[in-house]
Amino acid sequence: MLDLKEKSKLDQAKQILQSLESDIQQNILGGSSGDLKPVKITLKGLNTFKRGNQPAKMSNLLFTDVQRDAHFDKMKQISSHVIQAFVSAGFDEGLRD
C-alpha cells in the first residue's frame, strides 16, 4: 500500500502510471491503445478471513482466488512492471512483488 496523502506524492504516482502506459501496451499486451484486447481474469470462489472460531458473517475481509492462466500471467507481468517503476522512483516502502 502506498501513502499518497501528500499531493506531491499523488501527482508523482499519477505521472509514473501515465509514463508506463505505452510500454505496457506495446511490450506486455502486444499492441497499441487502438487494437488492445481486454485482459480477462477469472475469479474462483469467495472466502473470508476469520479469527479463531469467529463465524463467517463476522468477517470484515473477503478474498477470492484467481485462475492461473495466460491472462493471469499478463496481469502478473503488469503488476511487476508497475511495482518496479514505483520502487525505482523511491516508493519502495510497503510495496511487495
Q: What is the pLDDT of residues 24-79, one digit of tens each?
A: 998 888 887 678 888 899 999 888 877 777 776 777 788 899 999 999 999 999 99
Which residues fall within 8 angstroms of residue 24, CB to CB, at 6 or more apart?
78, 81
- Write a three-state SS string for 27-89: HHCCCCCCCCCCCCCCEEEEEECCCCCCCHHHCCCEEEEECCCHHHHHHHHHHHHHHHHHHHC
Q: What does pTM read for this prediction?
A: 0.73
Helix axes 70-88, 7-23, angle to 10 degrees: 130
